[in-house]
Amino acid sequence: MHPDVSECERCQRLLPLKQGKCRYCTLLLKETEVDVSGIALVGGDQLWFGRELALRKSDRYLSGARTSGRFKAKARRDRAAARAKRPTSPHCIDPAQLQLFPTPPRDWGRLNPQDDYALTPKANLLLRDLSDYLRDQGVDPRLGGAATLRTLRVLTAHLGAEAPIRELDVKAIAALGDHYKGRRMVCFLRQRGILKPEPMHDAELVRARRVAGSLPSPFAEAVDLWIDVLLGQGSRSSPTLASGTIYSYVQNAHPTLKSWADSGITDLREITKKDVQAAIMGLPSARRHSVHPPLRSLFRALRRERKIFRDPARSVSLPTAVKLPTPLPSDRVRGILIKVEDVRSQFIVALVAVHGLVHNDLPALLLEDLDRSRGQLRVRRRGRLDHIVYLDELTSELATSWLRERHRRWPRTGNPHLLVSRVSATDEAGPKMSTEVTKTVFERVGISARKLRGDRIYDEARHTADPVHLMRLFGLGTTTAMKYITAAHPDKHPDPIQA
């Protein structure tokens, strides 16, 4: 008897086994795995011929390897038959149906992959259009665009393609895992006019309101009023601060307000100048200058809205050490353009290292601001006059090379900004490029954009003692220009005692 003879777990015969089954049962299961012809019997086996007409005893079937030929064709016919039997989703939206009440958020986390519904003809047409859109963007629908197509297939199979698709549903499905993506799909649906955008919410303001709500009632109401004043919504008109600045103010003032509430103070009208001084001086030196401005802004806003009688933080001041700029070592600046290879990175480095642009100015540059015929670049800065940069020969060549590279990679992009990334170029809304892209460039260089800009201005200040020249060349303010002149020419700075 064969040494490996055992009882087959399927037919219970004593035969040599592989993975618990004899050769006959293994071949039979392979033959009837895709039962398109209906040869598998319930409770028994189909009779087979022997000898030359017996089942082929190929090791491919026994090893579990992927087979081709008639087995692959049977599998395709089986999948086609299964697709033909799929029902239409009962949740398909009728575009003529009126809305009785706002639709609550759908819970796509309970999505069952087994609920594979049939697509309507309009949904199939929409999928084909999305495939063409991805090809125009240089994305292969079978590889990089497969996750995007899968997201649209799930949405249209459950909801249909007759009604607009909500952006909230697209993002909810894209958050389920890496095999779903929705960024390119949102751009496609927006371009087709069948996207229902989500309500615009400023995340920074939402977080600021949430921090204010965590305080006790009198303090929470005061902070909410303070946020309204910073947004220009007070009793008198005032300039509006950026949402990031408002959140930073509220976040930095929160620990001090919380400690006052825990100490038994029930109203901000009870706060005195000594309380403000004690709260600020009790902090580490690195934290004092981040807490002092928010507290002054808070009490100034409450005083203007007549919620308090006096401003206890008005006369509280902190000494500030003026740090003069210092040049970078020449070995760190030498060969800086060689450290980056792509044209966009070299153009970004040149704008900072040669023309002293601010890091946050780069993503906001527009295509219309670049005038190559005159060699000029306009820099728009909020609340200030536009700054005109006169490009040198190297930066002009890099700008031309970047425009060629931009057109080669994204010939159909409608983004109005001069600098674009792989994400912003394919977004039909035309957003600014993320600052993380420029941060990555200077991380590869090994020098921060702020230090590189400061070194360029300092080098120019060493060749001239005229602050007006620095103001015109780099768009500096009076105080900043004088700071660089003082650092570069300490002997020309007037002595305040002898003046």
User: d(Cα 356, Cα 449) in Å, to the nearest integer?
Assistant: 9
Q: C-alpha angle 311/312/316, rounded to 5°?
A: 115
The residue assigned the tokens 């038994």 is 264
Q: In Å, what is the CA distance from 327 to each residue of 282, 456, 479, 487? A: 35, 8, 19, 10
Residues 465/302, Cβ–Cβ less than 8 Å = no
- Size (the chain), residues: 499
pLDDT at 114 over 70: no
% of the chain with per-residue pLDDT over 70: 81
Query: How confident is the model over 472-486, as pLDDT tens digits?
Result: 888 888 888 888 888
% of the chain with per-residue pLDDT over 90: 14
- Which tokens belong to 219? 């303090």
User: d(Cα 2, Cα 118) in Å, to the nearest integer?
Assistant: 53
Range scoring the smallest mean pLDDT among 65-74, 175-184, 336-345, 390-399: 65-74
Query: How confident is the model over 290-301, as pLDDT tens digits?
Result: 899 999 999 999
| CA count, 13 A, side-chain hemisphere, 210 | 7
85-110 burial, b for 16+ CB within 10 Å, e for fewer? eeeebeebbeeeeeeeeeeeebebee
Q: C-alpha angle 359/363/366, rounded to 5°?
A: 125
Q: Is 330-490 in CATH node 2.40.30.10? A: no
Check: pTM over 0.85? Answer yes or no: no
Q: In Å, what is the CA distance from 57 to each residue of 23, 38, 53, 61? A: 8, 22, 11, 8
pLDDT at 62 over 50: no
Query: How confident is the model over 26-61, as pLDDT tens digits?
Result: 777 776 766 666 666 655 666 666 666 666 655 444
Mean pLDDT of 60-83: 60
3-state helix/strand/coil string of the chain: CCCCEEECCCCCCEEECECCECHHHHHHHHHCCCCCCCCCCCCCCCCCCCHHHCCCCCHHHHHCCCCCCHHHHHHHHHHHHHHHCCCECCCCCCCCCCCCCCCCCCCHHHCCCCCCCECCHHHHHHHHHHHHHHHHCCCCCCCCCHHHHHHHHHHHHHHCCCCCEEHHHHHHHHCCCCCCCCHHHHHHHHHHCCEECCCCCCHHHHHHHHHHHCCCHHHHHHHHHHHHHHCCCCCCCCCCCCHHHHHHHHHHHHHHHHHHHHCCCCCHHHCCHHHHHHHHHCCCHHHHHHHHHHHHHHHHHHHHCCCCCCCCCCCCCCCCCCCCCCCCCHHHHCCCHHHCCCHHHHHHHHHHHCCCCCHHHCCCCEHHHEECCCCEEEECCCCCCCEEEECCHHHHHHHHHHHHHHHHHCCCCCCCECCCCHHHHCCCCCCCCCHHHHHHHHHHHCCCHHHHHHHHHHHHHHHCCCHHHHHHHHCCCHHHHHHHHHHHCHHHCCCCCCC
Range scoring the smallest mean pLDDT among 61-65, 126-130, 141-145, 417-421: 61-65
| Structure-model confidence comparison of residues 467 and 53, the more confident one | 467
Q: What is the pLDDT of residue 401?
A: 92
Domain ranges in the chain are 5-84, 109-196, 203-304, 330-490
Q: What is the pLDDT of residue 356?
A: 87
Mean pLDDT of 308-326: 75
Q: What is the pLDDT of residue 257?
A: 93
Average pLDDT taken over every residue of the chain: 81
Residue of 441, 439, 434 whose CA lies nearest to 419: 434
pLDDT at 121 over 70: yes
**C-alpha 138: how far from chain center:** 21
